Amino acid sequence: MHHELRQVTEFNEELRTLVADMTATMYAAEGVGLAANQVGVDLKVFVFDCPDNDGVRVTGVVCNPVLTLPEGKDRILDVADEGCLSLPGAFVECGRPDIASVKGFDENGEPVSFDGTGLLARCLQHETDHLHGTVFGDRVPEKSRKKLYKIHKSYAEDYPEDWPVSPMVR
């Protein structure tokens, strides 16, 4: 999870199948986003289905994302609990800018652009981070990071090693 993924260069049936599988996996895991490396694929692509600050649900696919965040006085941090399908069951507070924009391409190679507030802004940042080799635990203070991994460890036996690809052990 800590290495930058390869750019998507071919927008073909294989990519469309990957996106469909990732979307099904995200829904089965009850997540709001999923990056390709979370299912063992070395490509810069993520899927998401997430509400914005107004409760409007936004769904999409982004290949080769370029993230834009506010700077200076426009940068307002939203500190809220964050979790990750790669660390199931564990949540800690993480500060992220309250708005975010992502540009890239969909699974057909068509340009896409998403502007997010609230949870959607957090999701766009979180998933783009994955594609660049950053997990959200890297963005929290050491004390919170230790807490995050301790919580995750307490839930680990409930999840298969290849989660979220395989379903939860019940």
Residues recognised as catalytic: 127
Q: For residues 62 and 131, is the Cβ–Cβ distance under 8 A?
A: no
- DSSP 8-class letter at 61: E
41, containing H or E segment:
none
The whole-angstrom separation of Cα 128 and Cα 3 is: 13
Residue-wise DSSP of 112-169: EEEEEEHHHHHHHHHHHHHHTT--GGGGS-HHHHHHHHHHHHHHGGGS-TTTTSSPPP
SS3 26: helix
Q: Which amino acid is at 162?
A: D
